[in-house]
Chain A
Amino acid sequence: MSNHTAEMITVTDATERIAHWVLAASCLFCLFSGLGLMFQSWSFIPALLGGYYATMWMHIFSGIAFAASLIYGFFMWVKDCTFEPDDAKWIMNGGGYLWPTNNLPPVYKYNAGQKAFFWCVVFFGVLIVATGLIMWNADFFAHVVARWAFALHALSAMVIGSFFVVHLYLGTIGNPGTVSAMFTGKCSRAWCETHCPRWLEERDGKNAG
């Protein structure tokens, strides 16, 4: 086991990474342009993007890309992101991030926090796309429906935006060695043993067999 530590293990395939980045880029562009449309004092954003009218349409098209990659991502990740009984235990132990613990259940591919982020993006993603479609075609809906669409669109942005920062931190400097999963697709064996031990065991078993 001399090369044990240096061994890099493929944790994501190219399709997964591309889906992730289309989803991420469209989501972040929506967030950026959306902030420009929400905060009049941030008119530098529409100014940068070519005016309010252009910003609104780019926001809409980016939203369509977000919706498409969300649907694709849902079917790709839903199996590994379905909650299981051990996830409650993981949450009760703060995932090992908040206080010292020796009771963390071994994780398969994604831990309960990652699963929570997945379901948050799915739920509020569907809500933000649905309300966005209503806002886009507000003249075909009753005023009260359109009105609440605008409000719930902002609520979804608030939730996804805040959870995104958690995702950004834990995917980068919070967990050294993680970010390569979304670039080269490879993480170290030690990383896999820490973050997805059951998945690693299954993989090693398959390779050995």
Chain B
Amino acid sequence: MKNNSKIEYVKLIDTTLCTACRGCQVACKQWNENPASITKQHGTYQNPQDLEWNTWTLIRFQEYTDKDGNFKWLFRKDGCMHCTDAACVKACPSGALHHADFGVVAQNRDLCIGCKACTSACPFDIPRYNKATEKTYKCDLCYDRLKNDQPPACVKSCITGALTMGEKETMIRKAHDRLEKLGGNAVLYGDKFVGSTHVMYILSEPPAVYDKLPVKPSVPMSVILWKNLFKPFTLIGMGAVAGAAALHYLIKGPHEAHEKKEGGE
């Protein structure tokens, strides 16, 4: 891997190869020094139940019966998708969340003020807020490792080859080759929305089948209205009114108080 800001990487998650060993989950915690949580047994191997401030990636276990009555166990490694049009970056007031090299959506946590704009803006429901530190957390694709020519910890740990990382075009080509071999319902997920993500899935079933996976994710309309319309027009509106007031003053002049004329008009 070359250290060049113009290069975009894609982490390809081939769910058809995943055995749900959760090595990536452990490697992620270890590399990022995230503490474990005390969890409860809910009758599933999925543990913890959801992403947390200290759990940036999670294998989702899903029991699924297709149209023909065939039972399947679906494993999906959830985590930040590293969008090109990242709603979290758009929403972040302080610049803590930002676009870094390789297509990474990175976080400078020193700048995070815990405003929680990103947690609601993200179409994938990724960033998590920690009340104790008053900051949000999410995967940064092991940006520190990428800068040192190392693959992310999850990719490094993967024993089946379900997780691979490489230059974007190469990985998309690789994904399409794989889809040809798989046939059936298999699809590539990630290249057709939010300006394309830097984490992509090969899914064996249509996206709608998967738990908590949006079929058509997008930067939410509310975020677009907020940042592209209301934000600039707060200044434009105030400026326009100030301009109109100035013109009124120059053309019509101030509205002087006039005394009622005695017995007049």
A176 CB within 8 Å of chain B: yes
**What 1/0 mask marks residues of chain A from 19 to 53 whose CB sits below 8 Å from any chain B CB?**
00000000000000001011110010010000011
Chain B 108-133 per-residue mask, 1 if CB under 8 angstroms from chain A, else 0 = 00010111110111100100010100
Q: Which of A10-18, A65-73, A74-82, A159-167 contacts B (4 or more CB under 8 A)?
A: A159-167
Q: How far is the CA of A158 from the CA of B257 in the complex (A)?
A: 31
B121 partner residues in chain A, CB cutoff 8 A:
147, 150
> What range describes how many residues of B lie at the interface?
35 or more
Q: How far is B264's CA from A20's CA once the two chains are assembled, in angstroms?
A: 37
B120 and A96 within 8 A (CB): no
Contact of B116 among A96, A139, A155 (CB under 8 A): A139
Interface flag for B21 (CB, 8 Å): no
For residue A27, give the distance in angstroms from its CB to the closest CB of chain B: 13
For A175, list chain B residues within 8 Å (CB). 254-255, 257
User: What total of A-B pairs shows CB separation below 8 Å?
Assistant: 136
Residues in B with CB closer than 8 Å to A135 are 115-117
* Most A CB within 10 A of own CB, among B117, B238, B258: B238
The answer for the CA separation of A159 and B241 in the assembled complex, in Å, is 11
With A154-B230, A195-B257 as contacts: A52 and B222 at CB distance below 8 Å: no
Interface of A is mostly: helix
Q: Is B120 touching A150 in the complex (CB atoms < 8 A)?
A: yes
Residues of B contacting A38 with CB < 8 Å? 93, 231, 234
Give the distance in Å from the alpha carbon of A25 to the alpha carbon of B223 in the complex.
Answer: 29
Task: Determine which of B94, B95, B230, B252 lies in contact with A158 in the assembled complex, contact meaning CB atoms within 8 Å.
Answer: B230
A155 to B222, CA, bound (A): 11
Closest to B116 in A: A138
List A contacts of B116 (CB < 8 A): 135, 138-139, 146
Task: Give the contacting residue for B245; candidates A98, A155, A166, A191; CB below 8 A.
Answer: A166
A4 nearest in chain B by CB position? B259
Whether a CB of chain A sits under 8 angstroms from the CB of B225 is yes
* Closest A residue by C-beta to B131: A139
**Is A176 in contact with B245, judged by CB distance below 8 angstroms?**
no
18 A/B residue pairs, CB under 8 Å, sorted by A:
A46-B94, A52-B94, A98-B252, A135-B117, A138-B129, A147-B223, A148-B222, A150-B226, A151-B225, A154-B226, A154-B230, A154-B234, A165-B238, A165-B245, A166-B241, A174-B249, A174-B254, A176-B254
